[in-house]
Structure 1
Amino acid sequence: MIKSKRRPFEDTSSGSLQDLSFLLIVFFIVIAGFNVNKGFVLNLPSKEKPKVVQQNDLIKARLNADGTLILSGKNASLEELCTALQEKQKEWPNMTFLLSINPETPYQNVVDVIYEIRNLNIENFCFKMEDSV
């Protein structure tokens, strides 16, 4: 009987696996550092301290199902809304903007209004969905 000699374990065979695992670790560390688009960041009031809004500090607008914007009972464009809110914000710094949204309103119209409100730096902003009939 002839004994076969075993070859010693070669370290080079696991080298490529180590390189691959190192590259994957570096890849995930780099990817974790990218900023993620968070959408609209809205600060919600706490349950312990509900905010009381005076009726004369409240400005109401409504988005209809067809996407039209109604401000003070009249149809208004997005630009007209922005100018009206800028004027009111100068008069009433504690102004609160309330947006009533019809459930059938196109989503992009809602996003457009919220985007403009955030650009105007209106701190007190709330919206509600109207009851669908």
Structure 2
Amino acid sequence: MSLLKKEGIRSAEVPSGSMADIAFLILIFFMVATTIDMDKGIGIVLPAEGGEIEMSSKNITNILIDPRGTVLMDNKEVQIKEIKGLIESIQLQNPKMVFSVKAHPRTKYKVYIEVLDQLKQANTRVISIAE
């Protein structure tokens, strides 16, 4: 009898019994370690919830945007680039003016944001987003 046993030919296999466990742990690791970059969006300060305030129609300027991107300011068609100048002149005449923006549901978001940008650039005090 020989003290040394002859070992058989070993096959080159990778044990696959724990592969599913390893894949699961790697998946969990990357889910926990990954940060999701959230878009900040537009910074709008909303007022506290309260009742409706009655306003005189002479203190409201309506800005309507139709689905084609046409902007109407008090029922007169204006170009987006003209809005800032018009708003500034209106505010000089009436500092208590409220600008109500109403867009059609199919209005392109880009046009809507351009109108809001013009209002912000004109340092508007009160902007009402109408439904």
TM over 0.5: yes
Q: Which has the larger radius of gyration?
A: 2
- Contact 1:67 1:106 (8 Å CA) reproduced: yes
Residue 100 (structure 1) aligns with: 102
- Contact 1:62 1:100 (8 Å CA) reproduced: yes
Matched residues, number: 96
Residue 86 (structure 1) aligns with: 88
Give RMSD over aligned pairs: 2.1
Cα distance in 1, alignment partners of residues 67 and 50 from structure 2: 35
Please tell me the residue identity of whatever aligns with 1:78: I
In terms of fraction of residues, the more helix-rich structure is 1
Runs of 4+ in 1 over 6 A off after TM superposition: none
CA offsets 1:95-123 (integer angstroms, 9 cap, x no match)? 10001110010110001111111121112
Q: Percent identity?
A: 18
Give 5+ residue unaligned stretches, structure 1: 1-27
Please tell me the residue identity of whatever aligns with 1:95: M
Q: Are 2:78 and 1:76 aligned? A: yes
Residue 21 (structure 2) aligns with: none
Cα distance in 2, alignment partners of residues 39 and 51 from structure 1: 28
Give 5+ residue unaligned stretches, structure 2: 1-32
Please tell me the residue identity of whatever aligns with 1:45: P
